[in-house]
Structure 1
């Protein structure tokens, strides 16, 4: 795989979505959860999306239940939660695994391209973020503790 555009993912209504659809956009890819202490980051992600979408930013949220079982709902429940609590308008995808033998191939690629602390590939928790440039290359990985608003300057550099 040469870049992010080589992957196809499934959105929250079960449709296959080639990431080629996002070509020439700056992407922020995030593993999310509805019952996590970091769940309020959905609001920050929506704010970033609203601020930069006209300039070419897309936010892609991938719910994951691998961390403390904090995303137990099905696709419809997750979407309902996001709409009710955060009114998100960015793209929401099917629940996936981000670590282990059942990890989604997209996350295998992301974690290989941008390793964490001490060179670790493993995602440590919900709301780990990956910033992708317009050419489909992974530019940076952000830890859970990095609030979305702290990523603005990096996004602006790529837009």
Structure 2
């Protein structure tokens, strides 16, 4: 219960900051990642399968590396940032908490949420459709927390 409240509070803070500044603070995302790894190690200590910690480590590493690579490729192709390292660190935190197996679901849910936001915004404010910037952190946070609630291991 307390773990969930802490996770929720950190994800809300990340979302608000990302919406306002288009930045995700390292202090919050990296703290979440460490907390997820610690939680997995603690679960193993309490008798969970050793793969829980392995899945969390792989989740954190692959979450970061996949988004960092996508962001770097987009920057090379377009010359502007499209997916920042803050999003990569937040996905790494999700991987630490949920394990690598849940990362595709996190990305899918977040992408569908962001796509829906852009579609609705384009319909309601067509004059602003040229500004296609989107704070993706809140969508990652929503997907992360929703899946954590559903799978709480």
Q: With the length of structure 1 as denominator, give the TM-score of the two structures.
A: 0.28
- Could you say which structure has the higher strand fraction? 1
Say which one has the larger Rg: 2
- Could you say which structure has the higher helix fraction? 2
Q: With the length of structure 2 as denominator, give the TM-score of the two structures.
A: 0.29
